[in-house]
A = this chain, B = another copy of it.
């Protein structure tokens, strides 16, 4: 429970009015009860205050808090950033019972740090090391020889395969799968797929064959401050580790193939997938349902809109869109022309008639 003044201080923001007012939680303006702090950080949301009963609000700079009928207010310059600080303060968590649940199955050779919570029916494998202050949810599986840094926060049913190394403050949502075997096969003789890659369309004389499995000898190496979404999957590398850099965040159902190398501070949104051996720089943002072909290189600061399928290398700083991906402004131009296509067809027919009779 925090007062308006405490919240403002934590956000580095200015508070006015009844700063000692203790709020019960955050609420959208129209839903806010009398003890809630209403999120009204733009004039549009300010209007909705009258539909709720809030007496205190987070407001945009320059808002007339008294005219809005409030008793206390906090002014923020960058609303979404304020949301970061505020939601961190008010996060109620999952109500895990501190300590190690007696039903957890922990190998005697595992090293569990100080102040670690391990939920019911979790399994911790041989020689695994769990950093201080970590929270391992119910039904989690931590494999043999895994290293997990300090302050990890794993929701329920996360699995981490053998030999994975993860830095500090790792977060994983329910059902995240780290270190599945890579999907890698080869045929005894040249396959149709190999021919198609060269010819872009012709299978040649390749005969039908069964697949020989290439096992994964590598594992997965993850930096500090990484978050992995629900039911996301990250595959082991073939010879070396698949790598994910510091500060990178993967959304739900993201898929990272074997041998990928992702840099620092990237965002990969929901259901995006990387094939094998993709290399991604720092500060890259891929929207939802993007795909990247195998062995592709994506430079620093590349941004791709939702649904973009990247089939060839992308230089640093570029903004991409489409299937196959092109620069976003090229895509817009192509798309506008496509919408005019049926009309172009009619114009062309008229021209042909006029010119060629």
Q: Which residues of A contact B (CB under 8 A)?
A: 25-28, 31, 39, 78, 80-81, 83-85, 87-88, 90-95, 97, 101, 103, 105, 119-121, 123, 125-126, 138-139, 141, 143-145, 155-157, 159, 161-163, 171, 173-175, 177, 180-181, 183-189, 192-193, 196, 200-203, 208-217, 225, 227, 229-231, 233, 235, 238-240, 247, 249, 251-253, 255, 257, 265, 267, 269-271, 273, 275, 282-283, 285, 288-289, 291, 293, 300-301, 303, 305-307, 309, 311, 317, 319, 322-324, 326-330, 332-342, 344-345, 347-348, 351-352, 354-356
Q: Contacts A26-B217, A289-B289 known; list 18 others, CB within 8 Å.
A: A78-B186, A78-B189, A87-B214, A95-B162, A101-B105, A105-B121, A143-B156, A173-B180, A183-B229, A200-B328, A209-B265, A270-B273, A291-B307, A307-B323, A338-B338, A340-B345, A344-B344, A348-B351
Interface centre among A39, A80, A352 (most CB of B within 10 A): A80
When distances are taken between beta carbons in the complex, the residues of chain B under 8 Å from A121 are 105, 121, 123, 139
Other-chain contact of A252, B155, B233, B309 (Cβ < 8 Å): B233
A317 to B195, CA, bound (A): 13
**In whole angstroms, how far apart are the Cα atoms of A301 and B208 in the complex?**
7
Check B174–A161 contact: CB distance below 8 A.
yes
The chain B residue sitting closest to A230, CB to CB, is: B180
What B residues does A173 contact at CB under 8 A? 177, 180-181, 233
Query: Are the CB atoms of B342 and A84 closer together than 8 Å?
Result: no
Q: Which residues of B contact A188 (CB under 8 A)?
A: 78, 81
Q: How far is the CA of A216 from the CA of B192 in the complex (A)?
A: 37
Interface pair B334/A201, CB less than 8 Å apart: no
Contact A203 B303 (CB under 8 A): yes
CB atoms of A327 and B84 under 8 A apart? no
Q: Which residue of B lies closest to A339 (CB)?
A: B334
Please tell me if the beta carbons of A255 and B271 are within 8 angstroms of each other in the complex: yes
User: Which of B215, B339, B344, B354 makes the CB contact (< 8 A) with A348?
Assistant: B344
Which residues of chain B have C-beta atoms less than 8 A from A336's C-beta? 342
Closest to A336 in B: B342
For the complex, what is the distance from the CA of A84 to the CA of B189, rounded to whole Å? 13
Q: What's the nearest-Cβ distance from chain B to residue A115, in Å?
A: 20
Q: A208-B301, A307-B323 are in contact. Are A83 and B143 (CB under 8 A)?
A: no
